């Protein structure tokens, strides 16, 4: 173990006030906080700051305006564009002026439904500049999901683009926004549309404004100054899948977030001012918020915004090309992306030809990293590959090998060790810690460190629920264990959440959609292991009497999930079965369905209602052609 890691972790637990007080010095405060933690008000209470100032203005003021802040690399449009900190300041100022002209002020919400283009980053930072609260919705979600988020966040504006580019396909975004607003109860003042040359959007009425035109009209407006916000004022709301299918609006504060993210760059990723860093995620996810946008800019580094896929844009060498071209020093992606590359280039010929340039280390997160993928990547790249674990709720890694503190310990199947600030316990059903080696509910001692959520938007009771299962602890929803060497292994979820290609989804939500379709009597959706995406959803549908021979049923169910939840759900298989396996008390045996899909030995539980059901389902699965 590295001594620096041991000391940092111990200090963060023994004296969090001193530890985070020291870390807060990396941030420019308008009014410095008088203390680090206050149980009622949270982290850095009393302090005021502006996150945009910390991410841009202060670097320019320090004479680093010519350093590259943002590189947009888009193989799907054939574009590479760099923005220095001075240029980023100018661009963000222009968008802030546009938003200001539309009446956006401190505390207003702005929903972004945008692809991976620089304007998305400008808009997020422009909101931060004004003290407005952005809520970015991932482009793979359908209109219904967007509408739910609009109704919950009640934004003044929606910012969107005419299209996103998914590999070789162009996906029109504006019709989805129109549909969402037709469904939503809440109506926005304006929809601002960034027209992309790949596909123009129709502006349908006075509500719709053209981004470029608005920018032109407001071009003489002075760029708004950075608003002074309280440390605990919200910077953004990011919706994530909850267990009930109702999205949880995770609220991120300004102060704790800035302090924690800056700390991670220096102590986990080993990135400082001027260093190129790349997180190959999407700004619609928490990884994109934290590690494409805020963290690298807070420390004055160079961040890469990549619009493409690991494969097919144009080939499985695209990641290595971007890393080499921009001299990326630390790289972060999801295991599924590496599996996709490995599938197409098993001998890593592209990697061997292109190389990894200045790259020192690779981080993986978003889903469990299978040891085979890590071993392959380490062998082919010759670099340390570090799995680490976190959640939207936390905002930054909670389990990791703190590489920048000199730690390099890693073990296949483990996400590493508790990161400073986090005290983990594996709890049994009785709420007592289980011995090392035994699986329990992964819990974190409260209070959570800076940057972690302190409430859910419009749902404080939903937030509290995370702390009631095991009083005094935050229940992560994951199951796992410590091994004898102190490595923490995350084994899966204790609820209905699944991770599909690193995207967090609720099978319960899919079940709700499937259950509403014509001809469906009942259903179950489970997550099955998948060699590429980690997990994929599979639906089991029992038809209503009379619908047994409806050949359209499976297709309709799949189409409904796609149109209501979104393409990202990736539900491609629905089995029509005569019955679901249930206990005599009526509980669906989802675990048994999972075992059937994995082709595992199924031990029929004694409580099963009808012991013939598992074999009948197994036969149906075996006879149905794979999609």
| Residue 340 interacting partner from ligand COA, ligand AMP, none (CB closer than 5 to 8 Å by kind) | ligand COA
* 391 contributes a contact to ligand AMP by CB under 6 A: yes
**Which one of residues 164, 230, 440, 614 is an interface residue with ligand COA (CB under 6 A)?**
164
One symbol per residue from 260 to 299: x for binding ligand AMP (CB under 6 A), - otherwise; what is it? --------------------------x-------------
Can you tell me which residue has the tokens 């006879």?
623
3-state helix, strand, coil in the chain (%, to 5): 35, 25, 40
One symbol per residue from 413 to 442: x for binding ligand AMP (CB under 6 A), - otherwise; what is it? --x---------------------------
- C-alpha–C-alpha distance, residues 71 and 77, integer Å: 14
Contact indicator for 51, 57 with CB cutoff of 8 Å: no
Piece of the chain touching ligand COA by CB under 6 A; list 9-17, 135-143, 399-407, 430-438: 135-143
Binding residues among 544-603 for ligand COA as defined by CB under 6 A: 567-568, 570
The token pair that represents 115 in the structure block = 């692809």
The token pair that represents 77 in the structure block = 């449009």
Residue 96 vs 340, nearer CB to ligand COA = 340
| Residue 230 interacting partner from ligand COA, ligand AMP, none (CB closer than 5 to 8 Å by kind) | none
Q: How far is the CB of 487 from ligand AMP (least distance, A)?
A: 12
Q: How far is the CB of 289 from ligand COA (least distance, A)?
A: 11
**Which one of residues 111, 279, 490, 514 is an interface residue with ligand AMP (CB under 6 A)?**
490
* 248 contributes a contact to ligand AMP by CB under 6 A: no
Interstrand relation of 440-445 and 424-427 (parallel, antiparallel or unpaired): antiparallel
3-state SS class at 120: helix
* 251 contributes a contact to ligand AMP by CB under 6 A: no
- C-alpha–C-alpha distance, residues 259 and 16, integer Å: 13
**Which one of residues 23, 340, 443, 596 is an interface residue with ligand COA (CB under 6 A)?**
340
Piece of the chain touching ligand COA by CB under 6 A; list 39-47, 243-251, 333-341, 374-382: 333-341
Give the interface size with ligand AMP as a residue count (CB under 6 A). 20
Residue 60 vs 337, nearer CB to ligand COA = 337
User: What DSSP line would sit under 426-475, residue for residue?
Assistant: EE-TTSSBPPTTS-EEEEEESSP-TTS-S-BTT-HHHHHHTTTTTTTEEE
One symbol per residue from 329 to 368: x for binding ligand AMP (CB under 6 A), - otherwise; what is it? ------------------------------------xxxx
**Which one of residues 240, 267, 507, 512 is an interface residue with ligand AMP (CB under 6 A)?**
240
Q: From residue 125, how far is each of 29, 102, 355, 524, 543 by CA, in Å?
A: 17, 16, 34, 42, 50
Q: Which of 329, 302, 306, 303 is nearest to 319 (CA)?
A: 306
The token pair that represents 348 in the structure block = 């890593």
Piece of the chain touching ligand COA by CB under 6 A; list 7-15, 128-136, 279-287, 382-390: 279-287
* 293 contributes a contact to ligand COA by CB under 6 A: no
CA distance between the termini of the chain:
47
Q: How far is the CB of 387 from ligand AMP (least distance, A)?
A: 5
The maximal CA–CA distance of the chain, rounded, in angstroms, is: 75
- C-alpha–C-alpha distance, residues 146 and 586, integer Å: 34
Q: 128-162: b or e for each residue (b if 16 or more CB lie within 10 Å)? A: bbbbbbbbbbbbbbbbbbbbbbbebbbbbbbbbbb
Binding residues among 201-230 for ligand COA as defined by CB under 6 A: none
* 389 contributes a contact to ligand AMP by CB under 6 A: yes
Q: Which of 208, 230, 238, 285 is nearest to 109 (CA)?
A: 238
User: What DSSP line would sit under 132-156, residue for residue?
Assistant: -EEEE--TTS-HHHHHHHHHHH--S
What is the radius of gyration, based on Cα positions, of the chain? Answer: 24
**Which one of residues 98, 181, 337, 560 is an interface residue with ligand COA (CB under 6 A)?**
337
- C-alpha–C-alpha distance, residues 452 and 256, integer Å: 8
Can you tell me which residue has the tokens 């599996």?
339
* 501 contributes a contact to ligand COA by CB under 6 A: yes
Residue 164 vs 366, nearer CB to ligand AMP = 366
Q: How far is the CB of 45 from ligand AMP (least distance, A)?
A: 26
Residues forming the site for ligand AMP (CB under 6 A): 240, 286, 365-369, 387-389, 391-392, 415, 476-478, 490, 493, 499, 504
Binding site for ligand COA (CB under 6 A): 138-140, 164, 166, 171, 281-282, 285, 287, 309-311, 334, 336-337, 340, 365-366, 501-503, 567-568, 570
């Amino acid at each position: 173990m590295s001594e620096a890691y041991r000391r940092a972790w111990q200090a963060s637990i023994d004296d969090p006030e001193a530890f985070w007080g020291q870390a807060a010095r990396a941030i420019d405060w308008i009014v410095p906080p008088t203390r680090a933690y206050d149980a009622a008000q949270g982290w850095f209470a009393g302090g005021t700051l502006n996150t945009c100032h910390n991410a841009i203005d202060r670097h320019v003021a320090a004479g680093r305006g010519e350093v590259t802040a943002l590189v947009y690399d888009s193989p799907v449009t054939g574009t590479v564009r760099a923005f220095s900190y001075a240029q980023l300041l100018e661009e963000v100022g222009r968008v802030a002026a546009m938003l200001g002209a539309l009446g956006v002020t401190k505390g207003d919400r702005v929903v972004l439904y945008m692809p991976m283009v620089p304007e998305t980053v400008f808009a997020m930072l422009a909101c931060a500049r004004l003290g407005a609260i952005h809520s970015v919705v991932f482009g793979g979600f359908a209109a219904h999901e967007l509408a739910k988020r609009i109704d919950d966040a009640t934004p003044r504006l929606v910012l969107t683009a005419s299209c996103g580019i998914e590999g070789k396909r162009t996906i029109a975004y504006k019709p989805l926004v129109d549909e969402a607003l037709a469904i939503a109860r809440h109506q926005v003042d304006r929809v601002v549309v960034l027209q992309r040359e790949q596909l123009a959007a129709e502006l349908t009425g006075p509500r719709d404004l053209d981004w470029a035109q608005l920018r032109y009209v407001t071009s003489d407006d002075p760029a708004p100054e950075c608003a002074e916000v309280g440390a605990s004022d919200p910077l953004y709301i990011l919706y994530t899948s909850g267990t009930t299918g109702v999205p949880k609006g995770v609220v991120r504060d300004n102060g704790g977030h800035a302090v924690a993210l800056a700390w991670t760059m220096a102590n986990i990723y080993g990135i400082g001012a001027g260093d190129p860093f790349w997180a190959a995620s999407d700004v619609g996810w928490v990884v994109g918020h934290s590690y494409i946008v805020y963290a690298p800019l807070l420390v004055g580094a160079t961040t890469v915004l990549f619009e493409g896929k690991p494969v097919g844009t144009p080939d499985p060498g695209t990641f290595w090309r971007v890393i080499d071209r921009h001299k990326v020093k630390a790289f972060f992606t999801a295991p599924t992306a590496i599996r996709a590359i490995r599938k197409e280039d098993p001998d890593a010929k592209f990697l061997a030809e292109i190389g990894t340039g200045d790259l020192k280390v690779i981080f993986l997160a978003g889903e469990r990293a299978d040891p085979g993928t890590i071993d392959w990547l380490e062998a082919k790249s010759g670099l340390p590959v570090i799995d680490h674990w976190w959640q939207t709720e936390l905002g930054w890694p909670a389990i990791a090998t703190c590489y920048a503190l000199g730690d390099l310990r890693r073990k296949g199947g483990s996400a590493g060790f508790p990161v400073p600030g986090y005290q983990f316990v594996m709890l049994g059903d009785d709420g007592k810690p289980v011995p090392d080696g035994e699986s329990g509910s992964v819990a974190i001692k409260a209070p959570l460190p800076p940057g972690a959520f302190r409430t859910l938007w419009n749902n404080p009771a939903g937030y509290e629920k995370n702390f009631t299962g095991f009083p005094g602890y935050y229940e992560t929803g994951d199951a796992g264990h410590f091994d004898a060497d102190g490595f923490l292994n995350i084994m899966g979820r204790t609820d209905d959440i699944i991770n599909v290609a690193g995207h967090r989804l609720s099978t319960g939500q899919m079940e709700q959609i499937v259950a509403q379709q014509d001809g469906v009597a009942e259903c179950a959706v489970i997550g099955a292991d998948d060699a590429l995406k980690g997990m994929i959803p599979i639906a089991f549908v029992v038809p209503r009497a009379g619908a047994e021979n409806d050949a359209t049923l499976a297709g309709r169910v799949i189409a409904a999930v796609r149109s209501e939840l979104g393409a990202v759900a990736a539900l491609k298989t629905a089995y029509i079965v005569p019955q679901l396996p249930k206990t005599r008390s009526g509980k669906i045996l989802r675990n048994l369905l999972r075992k059937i899909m994995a082709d595992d030995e199924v031990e029929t539980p004694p409580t099963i209602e009808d012991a013939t059901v598992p074999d009948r389902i197994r036969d149906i699965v075996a006879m149905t052609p794979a999609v």
